[in-house]
Amino acid sequence: MKILVAVKRVIDYNVQIRVKPDNSGVEKDNVKMSMNPPDENAVEEAIKLKDSGEVTEVVIVSIGQEKCQDTIRTALAMGADRGILVKAGDDIEPLAVAKTLKNIVEKEKPNMVLLGKQAIDDYCNQTGQMLSAILNWPQGCFVSELGINDSAITISREIDEGLEQLEIQLPAVVTCDLRLNEPRFASLPNIMKAKKKPIEIIEIESLGVDTIPKVKYLKVEEPPVRQGGVMVADVKELIQKLKYEAKVI
Amino acid sequence: MSVLVVAEHNNVSLKSSTLNTIQAASQIDKDIHLLVCGFQNDEVVNQASTLEGVNKILQLNDEIIQHQLAEHVSQVIINLSKNYSHILAPSSTFGKNFMPRAAAILDHSQISDISGVISPDTFIRPIYAGNAIATVQSLDPVKFITVRTTSFEPVEIVGGSASIEKISLNLEGIATKFLDRKEAKSERPELGSARVVISGGRGLENGDNFKLLNEIADKLNAAIGASRAAVDAGYIGNECQVGQTGKMVAPELYIAVGISGAIQHLAGMKESKIIVAINKDEEAPIFGIADYGLKADLFQALPEISKELDLLNDIAK
Ligand SMILES: Cc1cc2nc3c(=O)[nH]c(=O)nc-3n(C[C@H](O)[C@H](O)[C@H](O)COP(=O)(O)OP(=O)(O)OC[C@H]3O[C@@H](n4cnc5c(N)ncnc54)[C@H](O)[C@@H]3O)c2cc1C
Count of domains forming chain A: 1
Q: Which domains does chain B have, with CATH numbers?
A: 2-167 (3.40.50.620), 191-316 (3.40.50.1220)
Q: Decide: B248 in ligand 1 pocket, CB within 6 A.
A: no
Residue A238 maps to a domain: no
Measured between CA atoms, how close is A154 to chain B, in angstroms?
9
Q: What percentage of residues in chain A have a pLDDT greater than 70?
A: 100
State the distance from the centre of ligand 1 to the C-alpha of B81, rounded, in angstroms.
Answer: 42
Ligand 1 in reach of B260 Cβ (< 6 A)? yes
pLDDT at position B186: 85
Chain A touched by B13 (CB under 8 Å): no
| In a domain? residue A60 | yes
In a domain, A249, yes or no: no
Q: Is residue A246 part of a domain?
A: no
* Pairwise CA distance, residues B83 & A167, whole Å: 34
User: pLDDT tens for residues B228-245?
Assistant: 999 999 999 999 999 999
- Report the pLDDT value the prediction gives residue A179, as an integer from 0 to 100: 97
Give the Cα separation of B201 and A106 in Å (integer): 45
Give residue A165's domain range: 2-224
On the question of a cis peptide bond just before residue A171, with omega within 30 degrees of 0, the verdict is yes
pLDDT of residue A142: 98
Whether B197 and chain A come into contact, CB under 8 Å, resolves to no
Does the pLDDT at position B317 exceed 80? Answer: no
Query: Is pLDDT above 80 for A56?
Result: yes
> Could you report the predicted ipTM of this complex, rounded to two decimals?
0.95
pLDDT at A233: 97
Q: How confident is the model at residue B1 (pLDDT cuts 50, 70, 90)?
A: confident
Residue A229 placed within a domain: no
Instruction: Please check whether residue A84 lies inside any domain of the structure.
Output: yes
pLDDT, tens digit (0-9, with 9 covering 90-100), for B71-97? 999 999 999 999 999 999 999 999 999
Mean pLDDT of the A202-228 span = 94
The predicted pLDDT at position A91 comes to 79
Provide DSSP, A179-241. GG--PPPPPHHHHHHHTTS-EEEEEGGGGT-----SEEEEEEEPPPPPPP-EEESSHHHHHHI
* Ligand 1 atom showing the smallest separation from residue B227 Cα: 11
pLDDT of residue A46: 98
As a whole number of Å, the end-to-end CA separation of chain A is: 58
User: Number of C-alpha atoms within 13 angstroms, CB side, residue A180?
Assistant: 34
Q: Tell me what the mean pLDDT of segment A81-94 comes to.
A: 94
* pLDDT at res. B228: 98
CA–centroid distance, residue B241 to ligand 1 (Å): 11
Structure confidence at residue A228 (pLDDT): 83
Residue A151 CB partners (closer than 8 Å, separation 6+): A169, A170
- Shortest distance between the Cα of B163 and any Cα of chain A, in A, equals 30
Is B230 exposed, middle or buried, given 0-12, 13-18 or 19+ CB atoms closer than 10 A?
A: buried
C-alpha of B275 from chain center = 19
In the reported structure, the alpha carbon of residue A119 is separated from the centroid of ligand 1 by a whole-number distance in angstroms of 20
pLDDT for the residue numbered B314: 86
- We report the CATH number of the domain holding residue A40 as 3.40.50.620
Confidence bin at A225 (pLDDT 50/70/90): confident
